[in-house]
Protein backbone atom coordinates (compact mmCIF):
# COMPACT_ATOMS: atom_id res chain seq x y z
CA UNK A 1 0.00 0.00 0.00
CA UNK A 2 2.72 2.50 0.97
CA UNK A 3 5.01 1.46 -1.88
CA UNK A 4 2.37 2.29 -4.47
CA UNK A 5 1.65 5.61 -2.78
CA UNK A 6 5.29 6.67 -2.86
CA UNK A 7 6.26 5.34 -6.29
CA UNK A 8 5.42 8.61 -8.02
CA UNK A 9 6.78 12.03 -7.13
CA UNK A 10 4.83 14.99 -5.80
CA UNK A 11 4.12 13.92 -2.22
CA UNK A 12 6.38 14.99 0.66
CA UNK A 13 6.16 16.28 4.21
CA UNK A 14 7.53 19.61 2.99
CA UNK A 15 4.68 19.99 0.49
CA UNK A 16 2.10 18.96 3.09
CA UNK A 17 3.49 21.48 5.57
CA UNK A 18 3.26 24.26 2.98
CA UNK A 19 -0.31 23.26 2.17
CA UNK A 20 -1.28 23.33 5.86
CA UNK A 21 0.34 26.75 6.32
CA UNK A 22 -1.60 28.16 3.36
CA UNK A 23 -4.83 26.57 4.61
CA UNK A 24 -4.39 28.05 8.09
CA UNK A 25 -3.45 31.51 6.78
CA UNK A 26 -6.30 31.56 4.28
CA UNK A 27 -4.07 32.47 1.35
CA UNK A 28 -0.70 31.91 -0.28
CA UNK A 29 0.38 35.54 0.12
CA UNK A 30 -0.52 35.63 3.81
CA UNK A 31 1.22 32.31 4.47
CA UNK A 32 4.37 33.58 2.72
CA UNK A 33 4.28 36.80 4.80
CA UNK A 34 5.20 38.96 1.83
CA UNK A 35 8.16 36.85 0.72
CA UNK A 36 7.88 36.44 -3.10
CA UNK A 37 10.18 33.40 -3.14
CA UNK A 38 8.06 31.58 -0.53
CA UNK A 39 4.88 32.59 -2.31
CA UNK A 40 6.15 31.02 -5.53
CA UNK A 41 7.30 27.91 -3.64
CA UNK A 42 3.97 27.43 -1.86
CA UNK A 43 2.00 27.85 -5.09
CA UNK A 44 4.19 25.31 -6.90
CA UNK A 45 4.05 22.78 -4.04
CA UNK A 46 0.26 22.94 -3.80
CA UNK A 47 0.03 22.48 -7.57
CA UNK A 48 2.26 19.39 -7.26
CA UNK A 49 0.02 17.98 -4.53
CA UNK A 50 -3.04 18.56 -6.71
CA UNK A 51 -1.34 16.70 -9.57
CA UNK A 52 -0.34 13.87 -7.23
CA UNK A 53 -3.84 13.38 -5.81
CA UNK A 54 -5.59 14.21 -9.07
CA UNK A 55 -7.97 16.73 -7.56
CA UNK A 56 -8.31 20.44 -6.82
CA UNK A 57 -7.35 21.33 -3.24
CA UNK A 58 -7.87 25.10 -3.12
CA UNK A 59 -9.93 27.72 -4.94
CA UNK A 60 -9.51 31.46 -5.06
CA UNK A 61 -11.92 33.39 -2.84
CA UNK A 62 -11.63 37.17 -2.90
CA UNK A 63 -8.07 38.01 -1.96
CA UNK A 64 -7.50 34.65 -0.33
CA UNK A 65 -8.33 31.00 -0.89
CA UNK A 66 -10.94 28.49 0.24
CA UNK A 67 -10.32 24.78 0.63
CA UNK A 68 -12.27 22.40 -1.54
CA UNK A 69 -13.89 19.36 0.09
CA UNK A 70 -10.79 17.33 -0.81
CA UNK A 71 -8.51 20.11 0.48
CA UNK A 72 -10.35 20.20 3.81
CA UNK A 73 -9.94 16.46 4.19
CA UNK A 74 -6.25 16.53 3.27
CA UNK A 75 -5.63 19.39 5.72
CA UNK A 76 -7.07 17.30 8.56
CA UNK A 77 -5.15 14.16 7.55
CA UNK A 78 -1.85 16.02 7.23
CA UNK A 79 -2.21 17.84 10.56
CA UNK A 80 -3.16 14.70 12.45
CA UNK A 81 -0.32 12.68 10.92
CA UNK A 82 2.28 15.36 11.67
CA UNK A 83 0.95 15.86 15.21
CA UNK A 84 1.22 12.12 15.96
CA UNK A 85 4.75 11.96 14.53
CA UNK A 86 5.79 15.04 16.49
CA UNK A 87 4.52 13.44 19.72
CA UNK A 88 6.38 10.23 18.90
CA UNK A 89 9.62 12.12 18.21
CA UNK A 90 9.34 14.08 21.46
CA UNK A 91 8.68 10.90 23.44
CA UNK A 92 11.67 9.11 21.87
CA UNK A 93 13.92 12.05 22.74
CA UNK A 94 12.33 12.34 26.20
CA UNK A 95 11.23 15.89 25.45
CA UNK A 96 7.93 17.45 26.57
CA UNK A 97 5.00 17.20 24.16
CA UNK A 98 3.28 20.47 23.22
CA UNK A 99 -0.43 20.78 24.03
CA UNK A 100 -2.24 23.82 22.67
CA UNK A 101 -5.30 25.26 24.45
CA UNK A 102 -7.47 27.95 22.88
CA UNK A 103 -9.77 30.07 25.03
CA UNK A 104 -10.53 33.66 26.01
CA UNK A 105 -8.15 35.95 27.88
CA UNK A 106 -10.35 35.87 30.99
CA UNK A 107 -10.17 32.08 31.26
CA UNK A 108 -6.41 32.05 30.65
CA UNK A 109 -5.72 34.70 33.29
CA UNK A 110 -8.26 33.79 35.96
CA UNK A 111 -8.63 30.01 35.63
CA UNK A 112 -5.69 28.41 33.83
CA UNK A 113 -2.83 30.46 35.24
CA UNK A 114 -3.91 30.03 38.91
CA UNK A 115 -4.15 26.27 38.25
CA UNK A 116 -0.88 26.08 36.33
CA UNK A 117 1.29 24.56 39.09
CA UNK A 118 -1.22 21.76 39.69
CA UNK A 119 -1.63 21.09 35.96
CA UNK A 120 2.13 20.81 35.37
CA UNK A 121 2.52 18.63 38.46
CA UNK A 122 0.18 16.07 36.87
CA UNK A 123 1.53 16.58 33.34
CA UNK A 124 5.31 16.79 33.74
CA UNK A 125 5.84 15.58 30.17
CA UNK A 126 3.76 18.39 28.62
CA UNK A 127 4.61 21.88 27.40
CA UNK A 128 1.48 24.03 27.44
CA UNK A 129 0.67 26.74 24.91
CA UNK A 130 -2.27 29.09 25.54
CA UNK A 131 -3.89 30.96 22.65
CA UNK A 132 -6.24 33.90 23.27
CA UNK A 133 -9.10 33.11 20.87
CA UNK A 134 -12.77 34.07 20.56
CA UNK A 135 -15.14 31.13 20.96
CA UNK A 136 -15.99 30.65 17.27
CA UNK A 137 -12.33 30.78 16.26
CA UNK A 138 -11.29 28.32 18.99
CA UNK A 139 -13.99 25.82 17.95
CA UNK A 140 -13.04 26.07 14.27
CA UNK A 141 -9.33 25.60 14.97
CA UNK A 142 -10.14 22.61 17.16
CA UNK A 143 -12.22 21.02 14.39
CA UNK A 144 -9.39 21.66 11.90
CA UNK A 145 -6.80 20.09 14.21
CA UNK A 146 -4.87 23.34 14.64
CA UNK A 147 -5.29 23.34 18.45
CA UNK A 148 -5.73 20.46 20.89
CA UNK A 149 -8.36 21.79 23.32
CA UNK A 150 -10.80 24.67 23.59
CA UNK A 151 -12.27 26.00 26.85
CA UNK A 152 -15.51 27.49 25.60
CA UNK A 153 -19.25 27.71 26.15
CA UNK A 154 -20.75 24.23 25.93
CA UNK A 155 -23.49 25.45 23.60
CA UNK A 156 -20.84 26.39 21.02
CA UNK A 157 -19.53 22.81 20.71
CA UNK A 158 -21.19 20.52 18.17
CA UNK A 159 -20.45 17.03 16.91
CA UNK A 160 -18.09 15.48 16.10
CA UNK A 161 -16.26 17.50 18.78
CA UNK A 162 -16.47 16.21 22.36
CA UNK A 163 -17.23 18.30 25.45
CA UNK A 164 -16.56 17.73 29.15
CA UNK A 165 -18.43 20.10 31.45
CA UNK A 166 -16.25 22.29 33.69
CA UNK A 167 -19.12 23.94 35.55
CA UNK A 168 -20.85 27.29 35.19
CA UNK A 169 -19.06 30.60 34.75
CA UNK A 170 -21.16 33.20 36.53
CA UNK A 171 -20.88 36.98 36.66
CA UNK A 172 -20.74 39.44 39.54
CA UNK A 173 -20.74 43.19 40.00
CA UNK A 174 -17.36 44.36 41.31
CA UNK A 175 -17.37 47.76 43.02
CA UNK A 176 -14.32 49.57 44.43
CA UNK A 177 -14.88 50.22 48.13
CA UNK A 178 -14.48 53.95 47.45
CA UNK A 179 -17.48 53.86 45.10
CA UNK A 180 -19.78 51.73 47.22
CA UNK A 181 -23.25 53.40 47.04
CA UNK A 182 -24.66 54.75 50.30
CA UNK A 183 -27.66 52.88 51.66
CA UNK A 184 -28.91 49.47 50.63
CA UNK A 185 -29.58 48.86 46.96
CA UNK A 186 -30.08 45.66 45.07
CA UNK A 187 -30.58 44.41 41.56
CA UNK A 188 -30.12 46.81 38.71
CA UNK A 189 -30.62 49.79 41.06
CA UNK A 190 -27.04 49.29 42.17
CA UNK A 191 -26.06 50.53 38.74
CA UNK A 192 -27.92 53.84 38.99
CA UNK A 193 -25.24 56.50 38.45
CA UNK A 194 -22.45 54.03 39.12
CA UNK A 195 -19.49 54.62 36.75
CA UNK A 196 -18.78 51.44 34.82
CA UNK A 197 -16.01 49.88 32.78
CA UNK A 198 -17.17 47.30 30.24
CA UNK A 199 -16.28 45.63 26.97
CA UNK A 200 -15.99 47.68 23.82
CA UNK A 201 -17.94 46.92 20.67
CA UNK A 202 -21.24 45.13 20.21
CA UNK A 203 -20.46 41.58 21.28
CA UNK A 204 -22.99 39.23 22.88
CA UNK A 205 -22.17 40.30 26.45
CA UNK A 206 -22.46 44.02 25.75
CA UNK A 207 -25.69 43.55 23.76
CA UNK A 208 -27.30 41.40 26.44
CA UNK A 209 -26.34 43.87 29.18
CA UNK A 210 -27.87 46.74 27.21
CA UNK A 211 -31.08 44.78 26.66
CA UNK A 212 -31.49 43.92 30.34
CA UNK A 213 -30.81 47.51 31.41
CA UNK A 214 -33.30 48.88 28.88
CA UNK A 215 -35.95 46.41 29.99
CA UNK A 216 -35.50 47.48 33.63
CA UNK A 217 -35.36 51.19 32.80
CA UNK A 218 -31.80 51.67 34.03
CA UNK A 219 -29.39 53.94 32.19
CA UNK A 220 -25.87 52.53 32.24
CA UNK A 221 -23.17 55.03 33.13
CA UNK A 222 -20.35 53.60 31.00
CA UNK A 223 -17.21 55.66 31.38
CA UNK A 224 -14.49 53.31 30.15
CA UNK A 225 -14.53 50.68 27.39
CA UNK A 226 -11.89 47.93 27.30
CA UNK A 227 -11.02 45.19 24.80
CA UNK A 228 -11.12 42.47 27.48
CA UNK A 229 -12.49 41.67 30.93
CA UNK A 230 -9.00 41.48 32.52
CA UNK A 231 -8.30 45.05 31.41
CA UNK A 232 -11.65 46.17 32.80
CA UNK A 233 -10.70 44.47 36.07
CA UNK A 234 -7.50 46.52 36.21
CA UNK A 235 -9.58 49.67 35.94
CA UNK A 236 -11.73 48.46 38.85
CA UNK A 237 -8.63 47.65 40.92
CA UNK A 238 -7.47 51.26 40.50
CA UNK A 239 -10.76 52.44 42.00
CA UNK A 240 -11.94 54.38 38.95
CA UNK A 241 -15.10 52.41 38.06
CA UNK A 242 -17.16 49.36 38.88
CA UNK A 243 -17.62 46.53 36.35
CA UNK A 244 -19.65 43.42 35.68
CA UNK A 245 -17.06 40.67 35.30
CA UNK A 246 -16.85 36.88 35.37
CA UNK A 247 -16.93 35.86 39.04
CA UNK A 248 -13.51 34.21 38.65
CA UNK A 249 -12.07 37.74 38.42
CA UNK A 250 -11.68 37.54 42.21
CA UNK A 251 -8.26 36.01 41.44
CA UNK A 252 -7.06 39.51 40.44
CA UNK A 253 -9.12 41.80 42.68
CA UNK A 254 -8.14 42.37 46.35
CA UNK A 255 -11.10 41.70 48.64
CA UNK A 256 -10.15 44.60 50.92
CA UNK A 257 -10.37 47.14 48.11
CA UNK A 258 -13.10 45.72 45.87
CA UNK A 259 -16.54 44.47 46.87
CA UNK A 260 -17.98 41.53 44.93
CA UNK A 261 -21.78 41.69 44.73
CA UNK A 262 -23.97 38.80 43.57
CA UNK A 263 -26.89 40.33 41.72
CA UNK A 264 -29.96 38.35 40.70
CA UNK A 265 -30.30 39.71 37.18
CA UNK A 266 -26.80 38.49 36.34
CA UNK A 267 -28.01 34.85 36.43
CA UNK A 268 -29.06 35.32 32.81
CA UNK A 269 -25.37 35.74 31.93
CA UNK A 270 -24.39 32.34 33.37
CA UNK A 271 -22.56 30.14 30.86
CA UNK A 272 -21.88 26.42 31.17
CA UNK A 273 -18.25 26.01 30.19
CA UNK A 274 -16.60 22.90 28.83
CA UNK A 275 -13.32 21.39 27.77
CA UNK A 276 -13.80 20.64 24.08
CA UNK A 277 -11.60 18.15 22.24
CA UNK A 278 -11.29 16.53 18.83
CA UNK A 279 -12.00 12.79 19.08
CA UNK A 280 -9.80 11.99 16.09
CA UNK A 281 -6.78 13.72 17.62
CA UNK A 282 -7.35 12.11 21.01
CA UNK A 283 -7.35 8.65 19.39
CA UNK A 284 -3.99 9.12 17.67
CA UNK A 285 -2.30 11.21 20.40
CA UNK A 286 -2.50 9.38 23.76
CA UNK A 287 -1.10 12.39 25.63
CA UNK A 288 -4.31 14.28 24.87
CA UNK A 289 -6.46 11.80 26.78
CA UNK A 290 -4.17 12.17 29.79
CA UNK A 291 -4.24 15.98 29.46
CA UNK A 292 -8.04 16.00 29.09
CA UNK A 293 -8.50 14.05 32.33
CA UNK A 294 -6.17 16.39 34.25
CA UNK A 295 -7.67 19.60 32.86
CA UNK A 296 -11.25 18.44 33.46
CA UNK A 297 -10.42 17.59 37.09
CA UNK A 298 -8.44 20.71 37.97
CA UNK A 299 -9.91 23.54 35.88
CA UNK A 300 -13.34 23.95 37.43
CA UNK A 301 -15.55 27.02 37.50
Cα gap 255→259, rounded to integer Å: 6
Whether 261 and 125 share a structural domain: no
Q: Which residues of 17-34 are buried (b: 16+ CB within 10 A; e: fewer)?
A: ebbbbbbebbbbbbbbee
Bigger pLDDT: 254 vs 153 = 153
- Residue 2 pLDDT grade (very low, low, confident, very high; cuts 50, 70, 90): low
Bridge partners, residue 59, by sequence:
66
Q: Is 179 within a domain?
A: yes
Bridge partners, residue 164, by sequence:
275
Parent domain of 116: 96-169+272-298
pLDDT of residue 279: 92
pLDDT tens profile 97-116? 999 999 999 999 999 999 99
Cα gap 223→234, rounded to integer Å: 14
- pTM, two decimals, is 0.84
Q: Is 80 within a domain?
A: no
Find the CATH number of the domain harbouring 25.
1.10.10.10
pLDDT tens profile 167-215? 999 999 999 998 877 655 555 677 878 999 999 987 888 888 888 888 8
Edge-to-edge, what's the strand order for the sheet holding 171-176? 243-246, 171-176, 258-261
Whether 277 and 256 share a structural domain: no
Mean pLDDT over all residues of the chain? 90
Report the chain's terminal Cα–Cα distance, integer Å.
Answer: 49
Whether 113 and 160 share a structural domain: yes
Cα gap 296→279, rounded to integer Å: 15
Is the pLDDT at 138 greater than 80, yes or no?
Answer: yes
Cα gap 144→74, rounded to integer Å: 11
Find the CATH number of the domain harbouring 229.
3.40.190.10
Whether 213 and 281 share a structural domain: no
Amino acid sequence: MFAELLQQGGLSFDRLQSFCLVAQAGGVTRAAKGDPAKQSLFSRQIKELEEFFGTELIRRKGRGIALTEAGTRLNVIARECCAALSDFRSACKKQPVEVVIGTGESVIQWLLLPCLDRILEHLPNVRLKFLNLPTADAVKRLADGVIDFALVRKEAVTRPLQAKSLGVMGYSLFIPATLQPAGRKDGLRLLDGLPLATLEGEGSFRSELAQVAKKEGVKLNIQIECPSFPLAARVVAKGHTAAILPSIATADLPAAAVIQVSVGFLKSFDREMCLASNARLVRIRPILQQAANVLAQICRF
